[in-house]
Structure 1
């Protein structure tokens, strides 16, 4: 079991890969994480080396007839603590996975930047955007034209990112050395380190759990891409996946049911082997993830990036967010911030759009009221952010108590609609 977990880590991290996709190349950008990785691998090597040494000595004693009377050869093996060794190996591999996830998250932004220039072969990008715009207009006719265009652009970009990951995975498979080969990687220098000591060197891994949204409107991964019949370009079967839905244009009551129909099933590989490849993030996952619906949904939350800013004027209109927390934080901090004058001699509340406007008001309207040195602190104290992001749904116009969750349903619905589906019929 631990061997399979180590193989999974090595493959996902491209530990034996070459070029820009390799683990070695990523450490050039994050050299501070190299020492913890060395210590973890050194701990694994040291533990395994201890066992092999004890076993070899016992085997040699047996061949030479030594220690048979007093049982010294058996004693050598008995002094090796198997439980402690297994715990150490298990903990070290856990930390390897955590550190690998940390490196992967740090590289996601760079990967998405490279995906922008990826050429989707045999695909009319303008036609795909027009198709998504038509889908949005059909389901949400009251949405502004500006937001329709923005949503369609991000749907195309999400589509492109996934195709880029698949193409990158295929090109990297040929570069990967066999994990079980006799040559293997170079052995790290023995450096025994207790996994508990690594907490001081490895940054805590942020929780990937998303803000809970009703209905679990999440996508499940589509089948494995290793089939030789799978292509990265769209085809008629892909567009058939976008057939007219039963979702009402004015209501979202049936949205959760429709979302369940949009979820691609787990790849069949999760039922036949210890691990499989997710068709969206293109990393190897434990088969338990594919067999458990809750784990599928939790994993897919990391792959959808369904949230985008819904304000007309935005400096980053096409940025996609993986969590509703990040999404709401952006809108509250970038679009709903005001600076309110704290002076009590106003009949009405005075709000300003920028800090500079309030500073000018304080200097001209309340001279000598505040010490100039304290003015920056006063301005920071006057900064307020509205808790209410939406008065009504920009998609359907409804006004609800849980309006943020309601809007998030629409965004995740469209994110699911923009996922490229597999071509193989029996996998859908």
Structure 2
């Protein structure tokens, strides 16, 4: 009879604990090293078990058996790995407990080198570590294969009731430009996005605790995963947030530091087809020093603070999946993908919250930050309503019924430069850019001060990232100089 996943896992944990607690043998050296290594592997294995819910009984809907009922080959592979782990840990226990001696094999060297000795204990330790690593890989594949959008699933749960007024007020206090009556819709959208991130973080923590509950109940854990300290906002803040069209996400369908010498203004003139659209631009192609604002209370833990307990893999505190990152840059990019900080900043748009900075700005540049070049006469317009009026007056006879929308679609083009004053969150950026141009060129900029789309993207993304981080309770202190995708993108562009 094949043992269940939960039974196999409990057996493996029990044997690993016996290996760790085995008294040192008087005739054998290296017991301390074995103990330390196996403690790490027990921590890693316990992390795997708790993260994937491996201690739930087969009949539980949260058990691995239930979740893999249509993937029998994957379930069989997991059971095979657990059987291998139990066998190898049992062999190691026999040696460390003194039941038998471990053998030592000699690996042949080259003609100029002597052979080296490899002990059975070392081989068994490597096999245990490798098996746990393979289990982590399987768990990652299982989680990736899950079709559910966890963020959307979290928002669909009615269990969590947060008052969004606190977060809406925070947006206005942090960015006074958004505190005006005209910006109320965007202030509400961005504030409610923070509230919904709190909702998401609460949901995934509760879900993680349910998965690990049998593990905690039986007291088998060899370590504890890092978890964000999410405050009990449910009690301190009352009513459930309401959504209007401007803040409603749809889940069914990324300003920074630069050397002064790289700030080079150039003069560009718009097409004078429409007198109101004849504008001159001083266009800045690179950002400036101090453009990206650092968060005073940074809430993203450093990789080292997460990896020390488990060595290689760790459990992300923002999605509770097993992860392994080589750099802080990739880790922070992942955190922002979990928090989905990038929100469309235009009214009457129900686009989803974006976890990718480039997909978000591609959306804005495709549908909102556009100009219109008439495909019939090549005249240029900065505003959609003026172009619509133009085609009605000048080309109405050439358009079929319903042809206005087709004409707009054909004529729409992403903006080549964006006025710095278009930042919806702040007013001082354009002032700082103007001061920088004066300092660099010795004269004031001519016409409208604009930046390239890439510079604007990084700047606005920095604002949105700071708002998203507000959903993470303060608890882990890290450096505050580069905690954004916007900052990381700027660094990457400098290297290239």
TM-score with structure 1 length normalisation?
0.54
Are the structure 2 counterparts of residues 87 and 339 from structure 1 closer, same or farther at C-alpha, using a change threshold of 3 Å? farther
Which residue of the partner structure matches residue 322 of structure 1?
A: 355
SS in 1 for 2:426: coil
Q: Of 379, 396, 400, which residue of structure 1 is paired with 2:451?
A: 400
Q: Of 101, 109, 133, which residue of structure 1 is paired with 2:149?
A: 109
Q: Is the 8 A contact 1:120 1:160 kept in 2?
A: yes
Q: Is the 8 A contact 1:15 1:22 kept in 2?
A: yes
Which residue of the partner structure matches residue 204 of structure 2?
A: 165
CA apart distance, 1:48: 5.4
TM-score with structure 2 length normalisation?
0.48
C-alpha separation in 2, matches of 1:383 and 1:308: 26
C-alpha separation in 1, matches of 2:167 and 2:174: 10
Q: Of 83, 107, 110, which residue of structure 2 is paired with 1:45?
A: 83
Are the structure 2 counterparts of residues 306 and 383 from structure 1 closer, same or farther at C-alpha, using a change threshold of 3 Å? same
Task: Please list every run of 5 or more consecutive structure 2 residues that lacks an aligned counterpart in the other structure.
Answer: 1-39, 107-116, 238-286, 385-396, 400-409, 431-449, 478-496
Q: Is the 8 A contact 2:56 2:63 kept in 1?
A: yes
The correspondence of residues 61-72 of structure 1 with structure 2, limited to 5 A, is none
SS in 2 for 1:303: helix
SS in 1 for 2:149: helix
Query: CA-to-partner distance for each residue in 1:380-418, whole Å, 9 max, x for gaps?
Result: xx8987375955423236443311111110110111123
Which residue of the partner structure matches residue 304 of structure 1?
A: 339
Are the structure 2 counterparts of residues 141 and 224 from structure 1 closer, same or farther at C-alpha, using a change threshold of 3 Å? closer
C-alpha separation in 1, matches of 2:85 and 2:317: 35
C-alpha separation in 1, matches of 2:81 and 2:307: 33
Which residue of the partner structure matches residue 468 of structure 2?
A: 415
Q: Is the 8 A contact 1:338 1:385 kept in 2?
A: yes
Are the structure 2 counterparts of residues 9 and 337 from structure 1 closer, same or farther at C-alpha, using a change threshold of 3 Å? farther
SS in 2 for 1:313: coil
C-alpha separation in 2, matches of 1:312 and 1:12: 40
The correspondence of residues 281-300 of structure 1 with structure 2, limited to 5 A, is 281-282=319-320, 297-298=332-333, 300=335
The correspondence of residues 22-421 of structure 1 with structure 2, limited to 5 A, is 22-27=63-68, 31-32=70-71, 35-36=73-74, 38-43=76-81, 45-46=83-84, 49=87, 90-105=129-144, 106=146, 109-110=149-150, 112-120=152-160, 123=162, 125-135=163-173, 138=176, 140-141=178-179, 144-176=183-215, 225=229, 231=232, 233=234, 256=292, 258-263=294-299, 273-274=309-310, 279-282=317-320, 297-298=332-333, 300-316=335-351, 319-332=352-365, 347-348=377-378, 386=414, 391=419, 392-396=422-426, 398=430, 399-401=450-452, 402-421=455-474
C-alpha separation in 2, matches of 1:137 and 1:403: 17
CA apart distance, 1:74: 5.2
SS in 1 for 2:68: helix
Cα RMSD (Å):
5.6
CA apart distance, 1:321: 1.9
Are the structure 2 counterparts of residues 87 and 395 from structure 1 closer, same or farther at C-alpha, using a change threshold of 3 Å? same
Are the structure 2 counterparts of residues 388 and 46 from structure 1 closer, same or farther at C-alpha, using a change threshold of 3 Å? farther
CA apart distance, 1:306: 0.8
C-alpha separation in 2, matches of 1:338 and 1:24: 55
Which of 1 and 2 has greater Rg? 2
Task: Please list every run of 5 or more consecutive structure 1 residues that lacks an aligned counterpart in the other structure.
Answer: 63-70, 183-220, 237-250, 354-363, 367-381
CA apart distance, 1:127: 3.2
Are the structure 2 counterparts of residues 55 and 274 from structure 1 closer, same or farther at C-alpha, using a change threshold of 3 Å? closer
Count how many residue pairs are aligned between Structure 1 and Structure 2: 321
C-alpha separation in 2, matches of 1:335 and 1:156: 25
